[in-house]
Structure formats: C-alpha cells, structure tokens
Structure 1
Amino acid sequence: MRIRLLLAGIFATLGAWVLGWLIAGRIAKPIRKLSAVASEVATSRDLSIAVPVNGTGEVSELGRSFSSMMNALSTSLEQQQRLVSDASHELRTPLTALRTNIESLELFDAIPEAERREMIRDIRLEVEELSTLTAELVDLATDQVQSAEQIGTVDLLALTRDVAQRARRRSGRTIDVSDGGGNSIDGFSNQLLRAVSNLVDNAIKYSPAGSSIEISVDGGSVRVRDHGPGIAEKDLPHIFERFYRSIDARSAPGSGLGLAIVADAVMRHQGKVFAANAPDGGAIVGFDLPEP
C-alpha cells in the first residue's frame, strides 16, 4: 500500500511537471516569437515586419499592443521622412523671391530709389516669413503649438492686400482684392499671413498662366478664387490633410503641406476652412474666423 502511494505520488509529480512544461512551452512560444520580432526590428529598423498574433489570451493581447505600437511608429517615421523631403515645397517660394530681389538689387543703379526701397522691404518680409515658416513646420511635425506670438488685433484686409501685392510682383498675375467690410479680428498676424499666402500660392499654382486670382475679405472670412480646373469631388474632403496629394495634382510642385498649414493656422483661431468648385469653373478655397 505504501509503495502504491509512493508510486502514485511520483507519477502525479511527473504528470504535473510534464503538464506544467507543456503549458509553459505554449506560453513561452509566442513570447519567444515576439522577442525575435523585436530583435529583428532593432537590427533592420524595418517597422513593417508582421507581429504574430494568435488567440485571445494575455500574451496575444501583448502581441496586439506591440503591433499597434509598431504601426504608430511606422506612421510617425513616414511623416517625419516626408516632412524633411517636402519642406522644400513651402520654403521654395520665399527663397525664390529673395533670390530674385537680391539679383535685381545688384543692378540698383538702374532702379528708381522708391522701387529699390520696396524690394528691400520685400526681402525683410520674406526673411521674417522664412523664420515663421520654419517654426510652423516644426509644429506640423510635432502636433505642438510652439509659437511665442501674442494675440492682437489684425486688419485682415490690409494683411491680404499686402500678400496680394507681393504675389503680383512675384508671379506677374492679376490679383484683385475686394473689401466686404468689418475686417479687424483678434488673432496671430504671422499665422494668418502664412495662411493667406498659402491660399494665394495654391491658386496661382493650379490656374493657367495669365489668368486672374480674385480674393474677397468679409469680416473674418477670406475666399480665394482661381480659374483653374477645379477640384475633383472625391478630393474635396481631403485637400487640407497633411501631405495629401490628389492624383491630378502630383505633376505640380509641392507635396500637400501648403493647405495643411492653412488648416492648422485656422484651427488655432477656432475657425473653419472650406473648399468648393465655382459654378463657372475654378476653385474657391478659404476660411472663416470668428469675429470679435
């Protein structure tokens, strides 16, 4: 009897050990796979490697969390890489204007004094715009508002007329600005300057050479009308998204940051952006800001 009990105990212990070993093996196997994936990602820096996820237990939940983290990191890395390569889109316009004005000033003996002073003023404004744009690009990359600019009263009509004047000189286009009245708002002048500049640059980019641009300012609303091909209906809901490029727009310079910066600036003012096709052709893109 004693021997039977002893044998039973031995077999029970062995059985428990084997069962524990099998259970531990089943638990450890997916953990080892997860560890192998983590090591491979660390070595290759390839965030697209698939994470094995099976079942509904805690280990599977860990695998799903790891997979979600990988996807988030992959998206973030892709946006940062595209931001670096696409920043040239936003920097190109002020840099081109700077170069043009500086080259013209080299011939300043043949330029009237008043025109020379106007060019110097434009150069100063373009340098300020480059500084502001650099900060805004950082904001887009980090989703953080880092501007130290203080809110103040902004004459939206005067700001828009200044943008239009500089765009005329830069592009040779006819750009008309109409006044709807009541144009003083509370806001950040540099951010609004960038927003209006991007709207005008966008209209110039997507309209035929020689065609005019019409801008209307009414209270806190700015509408920029071009005479280009318009915007495909499927693209209208997306044109303010970061890095969005419609199929039809991919042959044009840029990469989708221009209108994203507009949307970002307008959002900081608790406003709304909009885009629509004009009944007789072309697009109307702009924003509405709350009035005091």
Structure 2
Amino acid sequence: MTQTKPIQLPAEWRDFFALTKPRVMTLVIFTGLCGLLAAPGNINPVLGFTAILCIAMGAGGSAVLNQWWEADIDGGMKRTANRPLPTGRMRREDARDFGILLSVASVLIMGVAVNWLAAVILAAAIVYYVVIYTIWLKPRTPQNIVIGGGAGAFPPMIGWVAVTGDITLMPVLLFTIIFMWTPPHFWALALFVKTDYENVGIPMMPNVRGETSTRRQILVYSIILVPIAAAPWFIGGTGAVYGIAALALSLAFLALSVPVAFRQTGDADKMRPEKRLFAFSIVYLFALFAALVVDRVLAYQGLVA
C-alpha cells in the first residue's frame, strides 16, 4: 500500500514570531532603548518608539535570515532542532522573504521617520550579522564570535544616534562594551553545548582550539571588560552611579570567570561554573545598561553631578 505524503500546513504566526528569536531580541531592544534614553537631548516619543521598533524589526529580520541560511545546521543541533525551519513547519522561501521584508522595512522607516545616519548604522548591523557573521565567519573560523560580536553591539549606538544625529565617543564605547562582552558570554555557552557544534562542523573555539584555550580567553576578555565597561565614567560621559555599578558588575563577572578559566574539562551536565557565568552574563548586560539610564535620569533631575 502506497503511503501518502502528508500535506504541509501553512506556517502559523507563532512560527514567524519564533524566527525572530524573541529572547535575543529582548536584549537587543533593551540596549537600544537604553542608548536612546541615555543620549543627550530629546526625541519626540513617537519617533523614539519608531526608532526602537525599527531596531526590533532589523534584529528580527537578521535572525530570520540567519535561520534561513542555517536551516540544515539547526536541524543537526539539539538546541535548535525544534525551530520552525528544521521541523518543516515553514518553507525556507517564506522565511527568506519574511527576513528581507523586515530588514528592508526597518532601514527605510528609520531613515524616513528618524534620521538616515541611524538607518545606515542599522543597515550595517543587518549586513554584518547576516553576511559577515552568518555566511562568512561562522563556518570558517573559531574567531567568528570575536569578530561577529560587532553585529549585536550596534543597538545602543543606533538608539543614541537616533536622538543626537551624530556619532561621538560615548556611543562608540557602548558598542565596545557589548563587543568585548560577547566572546566570554557566548564561549561560556559553547563550552557546554560544544557537541552540537561538533556534530554540524561549526568551528567554535572549544572545538578547534580546545577547552583550555577557550577558558583562558574567557578570563582575558573578562579582565579587559572591567576598564572598558567603566570607560564612560572615566571620560566624564556618565556619573558615579553608572561608574560604581559598572565596576561592581564587571568585577562580579570577572570573579565568575575565574573558576571557569581554571577548571578542568568536565561533563557538560556538570558544568555549573560555565552555566553560572552564562546566566550572569545576561543579567550583567541588562543591569549595566539599566544603570546607564538611571544615571542619566538622576543627572537630568539634578540629583547627581
């Protein structure tokens, strides 16, 4: 008896939403919003909302195109096997078109409604993530996260430029903070899911250079992150509220990286120091950028110098 091939049902809106990586987008939106709120000057609330919406659309579009390109790779990894494309809940062509639509619309709306410098930076962020990181770096070099980290570092700069219309040292420093934060954040994750990357041939640092080298590099980046995170305070771009928070959070980050750096290779199920560092790294970025906004609000109200 011939078995009839099941008819593929149309993708639901939940599948399209899942493609935008909403958990990752939350952090992107938050840092973009903090950049906008911390920037000197004012922006019309409607335009401010539009700028953040465009950042969200651009980030979502990038994530969709990332999954369109890596659908086969995602299917070979436990962590990503249940996404809409590997499971067949959506056609790859539909995902591609959706990603292009979100990406192009985000740049055009940002340019027309807010300013074109912010739109150009947003376009650069999308191209950086989709082309430079996803297509070029990720399958070719263990430095993919180091160089590709710039893709996720653009949102606070975009939010800042949406208000000011120009690029100064402060938004560059905000970019640099996320750029330096990304390797230890992601390598902590890569240490306990490295089997996934081995199975699909992605040259992540633990798989290519080994766990010992990766652990040492996590410590090095964590050390460098301490002065980088405090740099906005050092140059007078923020007050003591941010500066003290940046130092405290960064030293805590460093303290959590020490047991990771000097720990011997272990079973992925027992990698508690690595999982603690990864979890804290997310809290770290949220708290650091929240402190930036709190500092700005207190300074605006004249409560701090």
Same fold, TM exceeding 0.5?
A: no
Q: Greater relative contact order (Cα 8 A, min sep 6): structure 1 or 2?
A: 2
Structure in which a larger fraction of residues adopt helix: 2
TM value normalised by structure 1 = 0.20
Question: Who wins on radius of gyration, i.e. which is larger?
Answer: 1
Structure in which a larger fraction of residues adopt strand: 1
